């Protein structure tokens, strides 16, 4: 395998707000970070339209614009970017190794900011119809469902926010929840339950998705769990809002994680391997905000700088 002879000071995996903030800080400290974009350059904010709560933008800012600005800022300080997906990492080694297909990059520190991805239902057709009626992002796709019937799956805060947002466009929003009580926080529940464009289907799951790649989604099958009765349910849109899974498969057996796969960190961003730091949603199942991700990216960068200084003795 072609191995770069150069040993990088810092390689950053992922380019959401955590990774890009780490790139700005380590770049500004003349560490010439290499950022490997991963599957979704810019991270989850590239799925959003307006970001209203990132400090500094009094009128809000478009998610993709915010991420493009952060990348530009990181480049100004010398960060380099590689659009590729990492295929393997060897974190115990010295130097550590990051494999991208046939290429191997060597580095003294790694900042893991690979984020989290929406959890999917695991049904046949789900990916074939993704973007053709199946969505994970109401703010991105809601606009296309003006006067249509849509379904939102989930009973948490995300599902309530997505469903409420969709009532701005859709004729009717059906919420499908597997239990008979919501997990969402009280204010979001109350707002959703009194919205007369929303209809709740309790103790119910989506058991099949129908449609084809050409024509898109045509409907779903709903299964009422207590009676096991199934019914075909025509709809124009299916929004899956059942939580997220951290993108940590690459690090199994190397980095400590909790039972859900979130990386465990101490002291802000340290992992169990010296020189490896984690920031953003990959290690945060609780706050999951752009600003908290950016803050933890800053912590990871400062810890990486200190670690590199300690190597020089
Ligand atoms: P979540 O709280 O984990 O809720 C996931 C929902 O999906 C639950 O209702 C769960 O059902 C359901 N679910 C999970 N797997 C399922 C499956 N395979 N089939 C059917 N249903 C399934 O996730 P989230 O709503 O994305 O929220 C994540 C975190 O972000 C939370 O801490 C939340 O408070 C926070 N958040 C906050 C805001 C806000 O404050 N504005 C907005 C969005 C998110 P059960 O209830 O039966 O487990």
> What is the per-residue pLDDT across 176-189, written as a single tens digit (0 to 9) for each?
999 999 999 999 99
Residue 153 CA to ligand 1 centre (angstroms): 10
Question: Which residues, at least 6 apart from 39, have a Cβ–Cβ distance to it below 8 Å?
Answer: 85, 247
Q: Which atom of ligand 1 is nearest to the CA of 288?
A: 30
What's the total number of domains in the chain? Answer: 2
Half-sphere exposure of 7 (CA within 13 A, CB side): 9
168 and 187 belong to one structural domain: yes
Q: How confident is the model at residue 226 (pLDDT cuts 50, 70, 90)?
A: very high
Residue 3 pLDDT: 76
- Regarding whether 250 and 235 lie in a shared domain, the answer is no
Do 205 and 227 belong to one domain?
Answer: yes
Residues 112 and 134 in one domain: no
Residues 110 and 131 in one domain: no
- CATH code at 112? 3.50.50.60
Torsion of Cα atoms, 161 then 134 then 247 then 51, to 10°:
-40
Average pLDDT over residues 189-205: 97
Q: With cut-offs at 50, 70 and 90, classify the pLDDT of residue 313.
A: confident
Domain that holds residue 211: 120-240
Burial letters for 151-175: b for 16+ Cβ neighbours within 10 Å, e otherwise?
Answer: bbbbbbbbbbbbbbbbbebbebbbb
What's residue 5's pLDDT?
Answer: 81
Q: Ligand 1 centre from 177 Cα, in Å?
A: 11
The rounded distance, in Å, linking the Cα atoms of 93 and 101 is: 19
Q: What's the chain's average pLDDT?
A: 95
Within 10 Å of residue 107's Cβ, how many Cβ atoms?
25
Residues with CB under 6 A from ligand 1: 119, 121, 153-159, 161, 178-179, 183, 205, 242-243, 286, 288
Please indicate, yes or no, whether residues 32 and 134 belong to a single structural domain of this protein: no
CA-nearest of 274, 290, 257 to 62 is 290
Which of 121, 122, 153, 183 for a ligand 1 pocket mutation test, highest count of atoms within 8 Å of Cβ?
183
pLDDT in tens, 57-87: 999 999 899 999 999 999 999 999 999 999 9
Same domain, 108 and 189: no
Q: What tokens appear for 279 in the block?
A: 């920031």
Q: What are phi and psi of 28, to 5 degrees?
A: -65, -20
Task: Give the ligand 1 atom nearest the CA of 121.
Answer: 18
**Is the pLDDT reported for residue 145 higher than 70?**
yes
Name the domain boundary from 193, 219, 240.
Answer: 240
Report the separation in Å between the CA atom of 84 and the middle of ligand 1, taken as the mean of its atom positions.
30
| Residue nearest atom 43 in ligand 1 by C-alpha distance | 158
Catalytic residues: 137, 140-141
pLDDT higher than 80, residue 120: yes
pLDDT at 131 over 90: no
Do 155 and 78 fall into the same domain? no
91 lies in the same domain as 16: yes
Q: How far is the CA of 42 from the centre of ligand 1 (A)?
A: 23
Give mean pLDDT, residues 115-137. 92
The alpha carbon dihedral of 299, 15, 289, 73 has a sign of: positive
CA dist 167 and 4 (Å) reads 53
Q: Is the pLDDT of residue 272 over 90?
A: yes
State what percent of residues in the chain have pLDDT above 90. 86
Extended strands (E) in the chain:
3-13, 34-36, 50-51, 61-62, 80-82, 88-90, 96-100, 103-112, 116-118, 134-135, 149-153, 172-176, 198-201, 204-212, 216-224, 229-234, 237-240, 244-246, 276-278
Please indicate whether residue 27 or residue 287 has the higher confidence score (pLDDT). Answer: 27
For the chain, what is the largest distance between any 2 Cα atoms, rounded to a whole number of angstroms? 68
Strand-pairing partners, residue 175, are 152, 200
Structural domain ending residue among the three candidates 205, 240, 275: 240
Distance 158 CA to ligand 1 centre (A): 6
Residues 181, 74 share a domain: no
Confidence check: pLDDT of 49 > 70: no
Which amino acid residue places its CA nearest to atom 36 of ligand 1?
157
Of the residues 221, 240, 259, which one is the last residue of a structural domain?
A: 240
Q: Which of these, 205, 200, 201, lies nearest to 228 by C-alpha position?
A: 205
Ligand 1 atom closest to 177 (CA)? 21
Check whether residue 8 and residue 76 sit in a common domain: yes
Residue 179 and residue 86 share a domain = no
């Amino acid at each position: 395998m072609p191995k770069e002879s150069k040993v990088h000071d810092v390689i950053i995996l992922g380019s959401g707000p955590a990774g890009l903030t780490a790139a700005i800080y380590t770049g500004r400290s003349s560490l010439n970070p290499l950022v490997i974009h991963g599957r979704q350059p810019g991270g989850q904010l590239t799925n959003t339209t307006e970001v209203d709560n990132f400090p500094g933008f009094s009128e809000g800012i478009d998610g993709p614009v915010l991420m493009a600005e952060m990348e530009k800022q990181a480049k100004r300080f010398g960060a380099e970017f590689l659009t590729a997906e990492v295929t393997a990492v060897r974190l115990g080694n010295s130097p550590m190794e990051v494999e991208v297909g046939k290429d191997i990059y060597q580095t003294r520190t790694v900042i893991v900011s690979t984020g989290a991805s929406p959890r999917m239902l695991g049904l046949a057709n789900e990916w074939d119809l993704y973007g053709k009626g199946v969505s994970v992002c109401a703010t991105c796709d809601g606009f296309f469902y003006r006067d249509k019937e849509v379904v939102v799956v989930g009973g948490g805060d995300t599902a309530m926010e997505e469903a409420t947002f969709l009532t701005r466009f859709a004729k009717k929003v059906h919420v499908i929840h597997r239990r008979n009580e919501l997990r969402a926080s009280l204010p979001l529940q109350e707002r959703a339950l009194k919205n007369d464009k929303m209809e709740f289907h309790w103790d119910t799951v989506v058991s099949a998705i129908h449609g084809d790649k050409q024509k898109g989604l045509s409907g779903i099958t709903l299964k009422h769990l207590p009676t096991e009765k199934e019914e075909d349910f025509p709809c124009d849109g299916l929004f899956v809002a059942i939580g997220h899974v951290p993108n940590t498969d690459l690090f199994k057996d190397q980095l400590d994680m909790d039972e859900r796969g979130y990386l465990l960190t101490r002291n802000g961003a340290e992992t169990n391997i010296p020189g490896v730091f984690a920031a953003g949603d990959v290690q945060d199942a609780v706050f999951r905000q752009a600003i908290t991700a950016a803050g933890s990216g800053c912590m990871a960068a400062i810890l990486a700088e200190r670690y590199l200084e300690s190597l020089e003795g």
